[in-house]
Structure 1
């Protein structure tokens, strides 16, 4: 990883994820941690919350420079009144630790779209 911070961004049409989750019922459990699912399903708009978290995972993969990752190794914590943050596990956590970086995220959604930006920083 270079000395510059890693930056990743992802944008998703919420309905695309919603359709994919309906077609493949097991997909939700492959993409999301049980705590993420619980948080999102308590929301008034679960699909919007899930799509935003999916974007955060994709943006984190890009910011860390990973070719691929187990989506459940990237957990979006917080939300609502609490600022969102990333919890890394497995391979993603090893890459971050080996490069001495942490990941910060920003999430948004508007008019049927969800987006996230992830930035790596060195403490």
Structure 2
């Protein structure tokens, strides 16, 4: 059964500028593994923006937004061996999902020249 669906779209340039201007912001939003992945790409800003959008989409899917005291780094988006993005959770957001029986996590990322988007679907079993 679907627990929630979230989507987010963001301007890549906006994310790129914020990360460049705000000292320490990258480490507050992204995990070391996310940073390493994105920085290994020629157009790293697209990958950072898509992951940011996925974190926002996830919080929309659980229906709380940032009200639950969640941290960006507690929501990690990594690609599996086939290149498919996957959600990995920790901290309060992981506890929320466990308490609410959310066991299925699906994420889709896309980006074009100016925009990045993400869709997250959560399943409750």
What's the TM-score, normalizing by structure 2?
Answer: 0.90
What SS does the aligned partner of 2:23 have?
Answer: coil
Shift, 1:67, TM fit: 3.1
Instruction: Specify the alignment match of 1:100 in structure 2.
Output: 101
After TM superposition, list the pairs within 5 Å mapping 1:1-123 onto structure 2.
4-68=2-66, 69-78=70-79, 81-102=82-103, 103-123=105-125
Q: CA RMSD in A?
A: 1.6
5+ residue gaps, structure 1:
none
CA distance in structure 1 between the aligned counterparts of 2:48 and 2:65, rounded to whole angstroms: 22
Structure 1: which 4+ aligned runs deviate by more than 2 Å? none
Residues 104 and 4 of structure 1, relative CA distance in 2, 3 Å threshold: closer
What's the TM-score, normalizing by structure 1?
Answer: 0.92
